[in-house]
Structure 1
Amino acid sequence: MSVQPLINLLEQLDQVHMNMLDLAELKKKAIVDNQVDSLIQLMNQETKGMKQIEQLEQQRVSAVYQFLQESGIKSQLNLNLTELSRLVFDIEDRKKLLHIQNQLSNTLARLKVANDLNQKLIEQSLSFIDFSLDIMVGRPNQDVTYQHPSERSSVMGRPGLFDSRA
């Protein structure tokens, strides 16, 4: 009854998440530099990484179930790694399992921070674009319905960048 296949899968998961962290850094630079084509390519790479993570996650669940079966536990318990480590009697294997758990947890925390920052940068970019469009073409909440010229108020807002009466 070896936990090594699970440790190997967790190391692979950590590596893929590290790659995602690298992509997040490149994505931040693309957002700041307004490189839309580069951003699209990076997002495509992220999608591939997410599919890889999904596959590894399924393999991880199978490896945990296999380990539990080998340990004589017949039910499909949903154990976290700390609880699972209590079932590992080899001290070296337990140390490896807890080490990779800590490493993966740190990588995921760093990835979350990077993704949150990128989300805020994108929201700020969109707000700036919206603000710029409002300045250029006028407010979207202006009345668009027809009014007879005599019924219009004497103070009219400028409808957009160009004045058609000029």
Structure 2
Amino acid sequence: MALTTLLELLERLDEAHVQMLDLAAVKKQTIMDNKVEGLIDILNRESKLMKVIGQLEEKRAEAAFTFLQGVGIRSNLNLNLTELSRLVFDPEDKSRLLQIQQKLSGTLQQLKLANELNQKLIEQSLTFIDYSLDLLVGRPNQEMTYHHPSDKGSSVTRPGLFDARG
């Protein structure tokens, strides 16, 4: 019974991560389209989904502990799914557990790649914004002569767009 609960929770975790993956795809397009309000909406939806994933993860840990107690292990071991599968003797249950593990692992890998891509897109957007601000505000006039890097006295700083003293 505890194993069935654990398997169901793992499937629900995979479904939640697939939803995160779908949001990551929408986020990618939203970033590329420069839709800030849409990005805020996606971030709010991701935040809610992360709370659900956190709750499912807690239940998964409880179900794993209950399963371990059911097979005679009294300590709260932090076993991964491969190690846990060694304690499952029914071939169908073991096969189902390993299938869920592979599916969840694949989903998490795809989500990791999607998040890395979105992070790079955001960094590029910020770089472009910084470049645009430099064009708008202008760079300080720098002398065309050589200055030794340790000579800080003659360095000119760019005036900020906003006056922080105000």
- TM-score (norm. length: structure 2): 0.83
Q: Hey, what does 2:122 align to over in structure 1?
A: 122
Q: Hey, what does 1:18 align to over in structure 2?
A: 18
Tell me how far 1:138 sits from its aligned partner: 2.1
Tell me how far 1:26 sits from its aligned partner: 0.2
Tell me how far 1:139 sits from its aligned partner: 3.1
Q: What amino acid maps onto 1:139 in structure 2?
A: R
CA change 1:133–1:75 in 2 (3 A) is same
Structure 2 matches for 1:17-36, cutoff 5 A? 17-36=17-36
Which whole-Å CA distance do the structure 1 matches of 2:159 and 2:91 have between them?
74
CA change 1:140–1:68 in 2 (3 A) is farther
How big is each residue's C-alpha offset from its partner over 1:65-106, in whole Å with a ceiling of 9 and x where there is no partner?
Answer: 000011111111111100000000111000000000000000
Structure 2 matches for 1:43-54, cutoff 5 A? 43-54=43-54
CA change 1:57–1:140 in 2 (3 A) is farther
Q: Hey, what does 1:163 align to over in structure 2?
A: none
Preserved contact between residue 2 and residue 63 of structure 2 (Cα < 8 Å): no
Structure 2 matches for 1:60-71, cutoff 5 A? 60-71=60-71
Which whole-Å CA distance do the structure 1 matches of 2:20 and 2:76 have between them?
30
* Greater radius of gyration (CA): 1
Which whole-Å CA distance do the structure 2 matches of 1:96 and 1:141 have between them?
68
Tell me how far 1:140 sits from its aligned partner: 7.1
Q: CA RMSD in A?
A: 2.4
The aligned length equals 148
Which whole-Å CA distance do the structure 2 matches of 1:141 and 1:59 have between them?
61
Q: Hey, what does 1:80 align to over in structure 2?
A: 80
- Give the match's secondary structure for 1:128: helix
Preserved contact between residue 81 and residue 98 of structure 1 (Cα < 8 Å): yes
Tell me how far 1:159 sits from its aligned partner: 7.0
Tell me how far 1:2 sits from its aligned partner: 4.4
Tell me how far 1:135 sits from its aligned partner: 1.0
Which whole-Å CA distance do the structure 1 matches of 2:55 and 2:47 have between them?
13
Preserved contact between residue 85 and residue 98 of structure 1 (Cα < 8 Å): yes
Q: List alignment gaps of at least 5 residues for structure 2.
A: 143-155, 161-166
Tell me how far 1:3 sits from its aligned partner: 1.1
Q: What amino acid maps onto 2:108 in structure 1?
A: L
How big is each residue's C-alpha offset from its partner over 1:103-122, in whole Å with a ceiling of 9 and x where there is no partner?
Answer: 00000000000000000000
Which whole-Å CA distance do the structure 2 matches of 1:47 and 1:55 have between them?
13
